[in-house]
């Protein structure tokens, strides 16, 4: 500890160089943490969803509707406690760039099935259920567009053609990522009223009595509808969500490779800067050795310097990534809900910091330790 | 007077390790820059190439994608009767009413099903879309449960070889051939006859009507005519513009990614160059003083050090280009969120992207070299020479 002032003096001698190196380490770790968070957020999105809920969708593809009559038949399957349904509404608010998810749902049964995953005052829930052109929105969506309760919002349908004026009757907070706060719920009946011969439920959500029976229930449902004109594909809600994540393809591999390239590039910058410093101080090393500093101590001093730079960079970079993304409510237009840096990513980032310190300090530290005093003093720039 | 560049190159050679590291840092940045742009570019090109400026796509009014569109048989017939439509050699109009639906099809890797675009076309589609041609097997026969599969997607689907039976929409289809379409998004689709696919897909509706114009300059007039026709509720778009717009969502994401990542990386690399160049200036204090004493202008010294930094970064940029080049042609796949289906496409490194990468490296060098070079130019001669 008593050598701290010496390390500090060395670090502050070239203030600009130390600052720039620290900043590049910070940028690298910021970028690394951000890219890694894309991977972890996508993975987390694939893992949300309750095991007690199941999704019944068309076996042909998700874009096919299922008959309304399936609701009664699904409720009759042993083990099914409740059933609701939803549709992807696909409306545009003012500009296609303002993308957010809207679901056309059967309000009462849908909110019952998801009870416990959101928080909304009871009177707002009742107001939404009562009014066919009412809608509810997540708090973060409300804030994003600066809406307020009671406001009229007009959506332009891309799937369900026409203008759809809806009134915000409720604002909910999400208690579980499965119930996204970046989403809007409207009435299925509002859509059905205008397209009675066409629109049918896009998928059914089932609440099971006992999650352990999920495989049997799924098999029972799919075999019941197997030979109909609308066969079904039933799976857990988690599997349903995961299927959307796999649609991104090998994005994880891409993010991880870029992250590695970033770390390598900055490793070179940091190592170079440490080598520049060491080279300039050859004489000093000689002096220190002459007055009795041991090889090991000199090795430690250089390593401490590299460690200091890496640690400062890590605090800045990882800290910025942890604070910044939640602060600006970044969600990549809803594709990455709840985007944030996980503890696992932070741990990985710290591991990289240690590697960075060792890799950038090792060569200069070794050469400082091995240098003989005579040689060092002879060396004059 | 200019200081010869050879001075800078020899100076760089005096500190090979340190300079190599700086150049490599730049190389990594340029490599990532090229890779991310090649990804965005490959995706864009796959969709841009899909459309031809000679063709017109007609969709339901308000539909922003083929998936959301629907056009009845009556309307398709009205559209098909337009006099502006080009005629085939046998005199029939070159028009293809098509059904379009993403279907769950089992993937080759065994990891469940993937959404793949299934397009029902008429045999005329191959005259309307001239880039499409069979690469293996034969065309599907009209009136039978037969399909052909795009060359890009075929390796990713189970039972997709010619002669196999592929399953989707609740029944099996004989695969009679594979087709290529100049690397466009059609190569990620499964095609069959529209009348065969329609009942399996979404009922008595087409999704789009595509036709070839007799004269491509007449597009504006045809568009007006269709959109003002009181019998129809449709939008007409030039096919090339339409498919380019279908890449918008993913392209925005990819471009954001490319800019976000490379600009942050670039700042780090510039800092590295700043450190290196300051150290170079500091260790060459007496040399610079000599240059100034000899009568070289401070401006020349500034230019000389800037050139040195730029040269160093350019070498890095070249290495980055060489390292990134092999990714050209690698096929990757993701979902095009506009059609909600899988699309397979290649990383596409173009000369333009390489040149942009080199310019990018030069900019990094000049930015990183500026302040150290200015310090060298402003050096007080008397003090420095002491």
Q: Which of A92, A159, A272 sits opposite B18 (nearest CB)?
A: A272
Please give the average per-residue pLDDT across B363-383, as a whole number. 89
pLDDT in tens, B190-220: 999 988 888 776 677 899 999 999 988 999 9
Q: Are strands B146-150 and B171-180 parallel, antiparallel or unpaired?
A: parallel
Alpha carbons B90 and A274: distance in angstroms, whole number = 77
CB-based contact, A64 to chain B, within 8 Å: yes
What SS3 class is residue B285?
A: helix
CA-nearest of A130, A90, A131, A125 to A111 is A125
Contact state of A264 with B17 under an 8 Å Cβ cutoff: no
pLDDT at residue B208, as a whole number: 92
pTM of the model: 0.83
pLDDT at residue A329, as a whole number: 76
Burial class from Cβ neighbours inside 10 Å (0-12, 13-18, 19+) for residue B273 reads buried
Contact state of A27 with B102 under an 8 Å Cβ cutoff: no
- Tokens representing B147 are 């399909």
- Hey, of B40, B60, B272, which one would you mutate to test binding to chain A, going by the most A CBs within 10 A of its CB? B272
Contact state of B25 with A246 under an 8 Å Cβ cutoff: no
Q: Assign A184 a pLDDT band (cuts: 50, 70, 90).
A: very high
Closest chain A residue to B282, measured at CA: A280
pLDDT at residue B245, as a whole number: 84
Torsion of CA A205, A211, A213, A216, to 10 degrees: 40
Residues of B in contact with A280 (CB under 8 A): 279, 282-283
Domain chopping of chain A, boundaries: 4-46+249-378, 60-230
Please give the average per-residue pLDDT across A309-319, as a whole number. 94
Residues of A in contact with B115 (CB under 8 A): 61-62, 247
- Tokens representing B233 are 């509720």
pLDDT in tens, A317-328: 999 999 998 888
Please give the average per-residue pLDDT across B319-326, as a whole number. 94
Burial class from Cβ neighbours inside 10 Å (0-12, 13-18, 19+) for residue A133 reads middle
pLDDT at residue A205, as a whole number: 94
Residues of B in contact with A281 (CB under 8 A): none
The alpha carbon of residue B311 is apart from the nearest alpha carbon of chain A, in Å, by: 18
- Tokens representing A48 are 């949300």
Torsion of CA B246, B250, B253, B257, to 10 degrees: -120
CB-based contact, A374 to chain B, within 8 Å: no
Residues of A in contact with B340 (CB under 8 A): 62-63
Q: Assign A1 a pLDDT band (cuts: 50, 70, 90).
A: low
Between residues B337 and A334, which one has the greater pLDDT?
A: B337
Directed axis angle between helix B16-48 and helix B248-283, to 10°?
A: 170
Residues of B in contact with A16 (CB under 8 A): 274, 278
Does the structure show a pLDDT above 60 at A381? Answer: no
Please give the average per-residue pLDDT across B108-114, as a whole number. 78
Q: Which of B28, B114, B340 sits opposite A264 (nearest CB)?
A: B28
- Hey, of B112, B190, B275, which one would you mutate to test binding to chain A, going by the most A CBs within 10 A of its CB? B275
* Interface A-B: count of C-beta contacts within 8 A: 157
CB-based contact, A60 to chain B, within 8 Å: yes
Contact state of B264 with A27 under an 8 Å Cβ cutoff: yes
Domain chopping of chain B, boundaries: 5-48+248-385, 55-212
What SS3 class is residue B56?
A: strand
Contact state of A59 with B334 under an 8 Å Cβ cutoff: no
Q: Which of A313-322, B18-27, B270-279 has the highest mean pLDDT?
A: A313-322
- For chain B, the average pLDDT equals 88
pLDDT at residue A334, as a whole number: 67
Cβ contacts of B315 within 8 Å, gap of 6 or more: B23
Helices (H), chain B: 5-14, 16-48, 73-80, 125-128, 194-197, 219-228, 239-245, 248-283, 285-293, 298-324, 351-377, 381-385
Residues of B in contact with A92 (CB under 8 A): 64
Q: Which of A63, A265, A271 sits opposite B269 (nearest CB)?
A: A265
pLDDT in tens, A214-230: 889 999 999 999 888 88
Residues of A in contact with B25 (CB under 8 A): 265-266, 268-269, 272
Neighbours of A309 (CB within 10 A): 27
pLDDT at residue B110, as a whole number: 72
The alpha carbon of residue B88 is apart from the nearest alpha carbon of chain A, in Å, by: 34
CB-based contact, A253 to chain B, within 8 Å: no
CA distances from B111 to A42, A171, A236, A337, B117 (A): 18, 38, 16, 25, 18
Contact state of B275 with A157 under an 8 Å Cβ cutoff: no
Helix (H), strand (E) counts: chain B:
12, 12
Contact state of A247 with B32 under an 8 Å Cβ cutoff: no
Residues of B in contact with A251 (CB under 8 A): 334
Closest chain A residue to B368, measured at CA: A20
Q: Assign A137 a pLDDT band (cuts: 50, 70, 90).
A: very high
Contact state of B61 with A17 under an 8 Å Cβ cutoff: no
């Amino acid at each position: 500890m008593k050598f701290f002032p010496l390390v500090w003096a060395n670090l502050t001698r070239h203030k600009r160089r130390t600052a720039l190196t620290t900043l590049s380490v910070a940028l690298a770790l910021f970028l690394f943490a951000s890219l890694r968070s894309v991977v972890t957020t996508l993975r987390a999105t694939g893992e949300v969803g309750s095991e007690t809920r199941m999704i019944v969708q068309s076996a042909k593809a998700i874009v096919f509707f299922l008959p309304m009559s399936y609701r009664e038949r699904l409720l009759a399957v042993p083990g099914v406690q409740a059933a609701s349904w939803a549709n992807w509404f696909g409306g545009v608010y003012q500009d296609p760039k303002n993308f957010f998810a809207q679901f056309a749902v059967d309000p009462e049964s849908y909110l019952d099935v998801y009870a416990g995953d959101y928080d909304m005052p009871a009177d707002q829930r009742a107001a939404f259920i009562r009014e066919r052109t009412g809608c509810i929105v997540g708090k973060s969506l409300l804030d994003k567009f600066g809406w307020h309760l009671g406001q009229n919002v007009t959506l332009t349908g891309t799937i369900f053609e026409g203008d759809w004026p809806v009134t915000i009757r409720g604002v909910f907070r999400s208690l579980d990522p499965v119930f996204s706060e970046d989403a809007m719920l409207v009435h299925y009946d509002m859509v059905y009223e205008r397209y009675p011969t066409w629109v049918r439920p896009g998928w059914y959500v089932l609440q099971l009595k006992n999650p352990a029976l999920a495989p049997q229930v799924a098999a029972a449902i799919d075999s019941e509808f197997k030979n109909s004109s609308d066969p079904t594909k039933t799976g857990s809600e988690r599997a349903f969500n995961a299927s959307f994540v796999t649609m991104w393809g090998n994005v994880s591999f891409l993010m991880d490779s870029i992250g590695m390239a970033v770390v390598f590039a900055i490793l070179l910058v940091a190592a170079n800067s440490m080598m520049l410093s060491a080279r300039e101080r050859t004489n000093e090393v000689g002096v220190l050795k002459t007055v009795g500093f041991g090889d090991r101590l000199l090795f430690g001093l250089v390593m401490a310097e590299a460690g200091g730079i890496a640690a400062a960079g890590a605090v800045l970079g990882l800290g910025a990534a942890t604070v910044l993304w939640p602060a600006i409510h970044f969600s990549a237009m809803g594709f990455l809900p709840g985007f944030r840096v996980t503890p696992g990513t932070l741990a990985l980032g710290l591991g990289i910091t240690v590697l960075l310190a060792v890799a950038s300090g090792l060569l200069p530290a070794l050469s400082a330790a091995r240098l003989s005093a005579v040689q060092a003093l002879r060396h004059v720039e | 007077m200019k200081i010869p560049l050879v001075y800078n190159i020899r100076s760089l050679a005096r500190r090979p390790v340190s300079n190599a590291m700086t150049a490599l840092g730049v190389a990594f940045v340029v490599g990532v820059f090229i890779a991310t742009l090649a990804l965005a570019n490959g995706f864009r090109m796959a969709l841009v190439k899909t459309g031809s400026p000679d063709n017109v796509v007609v969709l339901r009014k308000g539909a922003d994608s083929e998936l959301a569109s629907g056009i009845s048989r009556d309307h398709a017939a009205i559209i098909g009767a337009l006099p502006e439509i080009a005629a085939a050699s046998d005199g029939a109009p070159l028009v293809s009413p098509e059904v379009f639906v993403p279907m769950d099809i089992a993937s080759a890797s065994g990891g469940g099903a993937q959404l793949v675009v299934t397009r029902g076309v008429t045999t005329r589609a191959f005259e309307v879309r001239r880039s499409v041609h069979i690469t293996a097997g034969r065309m599907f026969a009209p009136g039978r449960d037969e399909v052909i599969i795009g060359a890009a997607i075929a390796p990713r689907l189970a039972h997709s070889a010619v002669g196999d039976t592929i399953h989707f929409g609740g029944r099996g289809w004989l695969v009679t051939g594979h087709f290529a379409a100049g690397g466009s998004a059609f190569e990620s689709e499964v095609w069959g006859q529209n009348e065969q696919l329609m009942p399996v897909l979404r009922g008595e509706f087409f999704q789009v009507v595509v036709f070839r114009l007799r004269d491509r300059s007449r597009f504006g007039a045809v568009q007006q005519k269709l959109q003002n026709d009181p019998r129809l509720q449709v939008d007409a778009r030039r096919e090339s513009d339409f498919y380019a717009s279908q890449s918008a969502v993913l392209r925005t994401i990819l471009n954001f990614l490319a800019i976000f990542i490379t600009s942050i990386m670039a700042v780090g690399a510039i800092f590295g160059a700043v450190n290196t160049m300051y150290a170079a200036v500091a260790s060459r204090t007496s040399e610079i003083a000599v240059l100034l004493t000899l009568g070289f202008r401070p401006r020349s010294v500034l230019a000389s050090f800037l050139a040195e930094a730029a040269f160093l970064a350019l070498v890095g940029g070249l290495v980055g280009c060489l390292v990134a080049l092999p990714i050209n042609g690698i096929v990757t796949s993701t979902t095009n969120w506009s059609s909600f289906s899988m699309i397979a496409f290649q990383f596409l490194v173009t000369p333009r992207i390489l040149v942009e990468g080199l310019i990018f490296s030069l900019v990094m060098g000049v930015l990183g070299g500026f302040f150290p070079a200015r310090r060298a130019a402003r050096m007080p001669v008397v003090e420095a020479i002491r």
